[in-house]
């Protein structure tokens, strides 16, 4: 999987992409991340990448020319998606991460800044993605979340593939409670069923806990799960 990140702040990615499982995956060439700075493609002497919006308004917009030039300088793999990180996009969820990991060989991710990007940039874009219904200072933060979520699904990143199948959202439900040693801590005890060695009862308990937890914490997911399983 190839990631091309169009960003005004390439240094933003240095530490996160060299840490933990993602750093190991990149070192093993499971995925490759390349950074393209639109400022390097600005043609005026001041290398401007932003300007005032037509019609007035607060703040600045990213200009289209440097973004187009940055994206058009990239190689094009057959299965490519060009993503703009924006609050106006479709929500980033596990289903979308799975689709991106399976269906594409190259993800070009455009990170917005200021008040956003010139609308004409959307002619480059094949998908708009949002981290949620809130505003951040930059598109690099959601871009990192997208990279992290996709790379961990690629074969070879996570040691035990089974762990990917048993986590939150994979079955439409939140994850079940999990415990480790000690069996008792500050008078809080691990549920007896988990100490029983009865794997059938443990599986039943975990499924019940998933359903209960999802119903209590995410009724929207619970209702979707009910519809999908009835």
* DSSP conformation class of 144: H
User: Is there a single domain that holds both residue 128 and residue 195?
Assistant: no
What residues have CB less than 8 Å from 125, skipping those under 6 apart?
82, 83, 84, 110
Residue 19's domain spans which residues? 2-151
Residue 71 contacts residue 97 (beta carbons within 8 Å): no
Burial label, 31 (beta-carbon count in 10 A; 0-12, 13-18, 19+): buried
Give me the residues of the chain with pLDDT under 50, please.
none
Residue 88 within any structural domain of the chain: yes
- Tally of domains within the chain: 2
Alpha-helical segments (H) within the chain: 20-27, 64-72, 94-103, 140-151, 161-165, 192-195, 199-217, 219-228
pLDDT value at residue 91: 96
Residue 77 within any structural domain of the chain: yes
* CATH number (domain holding residue 81): 3.40.1280.10
Residue 159 within any structural domain of the chain: no
User: Is there a single domain that holds both residue 135 and residue 170?
Assistant: no
pLDDT value at residue 164: 63
Alpha-helical segments (H) within 41-184: 64-72, 94-103, 140-151, 161-165
| Distance (Å, whole) CA 126 – CA 129 | 10
pLDDT value at residue 162: 58
User: Is there a single domain that holds both residue 29 and residue 93?
Assistant: yes
State both tokens at 134: 């809130």
pLDDT value at residue 171: 82
Task: Output the CA–CA distances (angstroms, integers) from residue 66 to 26, 41, 126, 157, in the order listed.
Answer: 28, 5, 18, 34
pLDDT value at residue 58: 86
Q: Which one of 151, 177, 209 terminates a domain?
A: 151
User: Is there a single domain that holds both residue 136 and residue 44?
Assistant: yes
pLDDT value at residue 111: 97
User: Is there a single domain that holds both residue 140 and residue 40?
Assistant: yes
User: Is there a single domain that holds both residue 137 and residue 50?
Assistant: yes
């Amino acid at each position: 999987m190839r990631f091309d990140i169009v960003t005004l702040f390439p240094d933003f990615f240095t530490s996160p992409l060299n840490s933990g499982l993602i750093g190991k995956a990149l070192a093993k060439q499971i995925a490759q991340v390349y950074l393209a700075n639109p400022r390097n493609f600005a043609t005026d002497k001041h290398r401007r990448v932003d300007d005032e919006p037509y019609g007035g308004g607060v703040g600045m917009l990213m200009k289209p020319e440097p973004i187009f030039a940055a994206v058009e300088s990239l190689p094009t793999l057959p299965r490519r998606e060009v993503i703009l990180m924006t609050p106006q996009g479709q929500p980033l969820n596990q289903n979308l991460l799975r689709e991106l990991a399976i269906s594409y060989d190259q993800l070009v991710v455009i990170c917005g800044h200021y008040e956003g990007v010139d609308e004409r940039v959307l002619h480059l874009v094949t998908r708009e993605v949002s981290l949620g219904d809130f505003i951040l200072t930059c598109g690099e933060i959601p871009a990192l979340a997208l990279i992290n979520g996709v790379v961990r699904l690629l074969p070879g990143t996570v040691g035990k593939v089974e762990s990917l199948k048993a986590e939150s959202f994979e079955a439409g439900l939140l994850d079940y409670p999990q415990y480790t040693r000690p069996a008792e801590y500050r008078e809080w005890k691990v549920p007896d069923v988990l100490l029983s060695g009865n794997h059938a009862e443990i599986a039943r308990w975990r499924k019940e806990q998933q359903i209960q937890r999802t119903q209590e914490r995410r009724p929207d997911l619970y209702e979707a799960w009910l519809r999908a399983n009835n």
